[in-house]
Structure 1
Amino acid sequence: MASRSFRAALLLWPLVLVGACTSTPAKSPVAGTSPTLAGDGTPQPPIANYACDNGGSITIRNVGSSIRLLGPNGVEEDLPASPANQKSRYGEARDAIVLDGREALVMRSGHTPLTCTR
């Protein structure tokens, strides 16, 4: 149990560091939708497409207190807010995403962090 807690703490530490970053404010969300706010207070649209540094793309759908990550090859993953009372950091087990304005930092266990921009 302690080993699991330690690994979770190691995973979340980069999120704390990255959460302090800022970027250019995002455009207004689609009318009639309820946006969430990123760490810098800019609205995140209910669904957004991101182009990633590796040439790939992802789609992030805000679904209340979590996000649904739609990756390449039809892979879907739900990530809860972490901690639960905020709208910019999402993660579970070995995967995490930090939303900051128009950028999303995608971190997966065993892979180099990936920056994606909408």
Structure 2
Amino acid sequence: MALGRTFRITPALFPLLITAACVSQTNAPNAGNPLADSPQPRTATYTCADGARITIENLGTSVRVLGPDGASEDLPASPANQNSRFGEAHDAIVIDGRDALVMKGGKTPLTCKR
């Protein structure tokens, strides 16, 4: 008797299970922080963990990084088809919402916030 009831209920629940499996999870990691998804502006100033301030100018397929000493460095997108990771040789920047991870060859990576 219980087995017959299970077979009658299963077809009714099947569409519900399929729908639940198709729910979008695109914002799951940042669900509690709406600012984490804010796009990179054309020019933004970041304050780094060591107290230094850098400016990142988004040029589309590359970024220009202006250091606290006034020196600038252009870093291409890496790989070329995306807009959050930039770098070449031993230097790189990863932009994630309002955060930027700055990596310079031979130095400890530095977290910076916009």
Q: Write the distance in 1 (CA, Å) between the matches of 2:76 and 2:63.
A: 6
Runs of 4+ with deviation above 2 angstroms? 22-26
Q: Identify, as 1 or 2, the structure richer in helix.
A: 2
| 8 Å Cα contact 2:84/2:94 also seen in 1 | yes
Q: Choose between structure 1 and 2 for higher RCO, CA contacts under 8 A separated by at least 6 residues.
A: 1
Q: For the pair shown, which has the larger CA radius of gyration, 1 or 2? A: 2
Q: Which residue of 2 aligns with 1:89?
A: 85
Paired positions, count: 84
Shift of residue 41 of structure 1?
5.5
What 5-or-longer segments of structure 2 have no aligned partner?
1-28
What is the letter of the counterpart of residue 106 of structure 2? G
Q: Which residue of 1 aligns with 2:48?
A: 52
Q: Which residue of 1 aligns with 2:8?
A: none
> Could you report, residue by residue, the CA deviation over 1:29-72 in whole angstroms, capped at 9, with x for unpaired residues?
xxxxxxxxxxx754110000000000101000001200000001
What 5-or-longer segments of structure 1 have no aligned partner?
1-21, 27-39
TM-score by length of 1: 0.67
Q: Which residue of 2 aligns with 1:106?
A: 102
RMSD: 1.6
Q: Which residue of 2 aligns with 1:74?
A: 70
Q: Write the distance in 1 (CA, Å) between the matches of 2:63 and 2:69.
A: 18
Shift of residue 87 of structure 1?
0.4
> How much identity, in percent, do the aligned residues show?
62
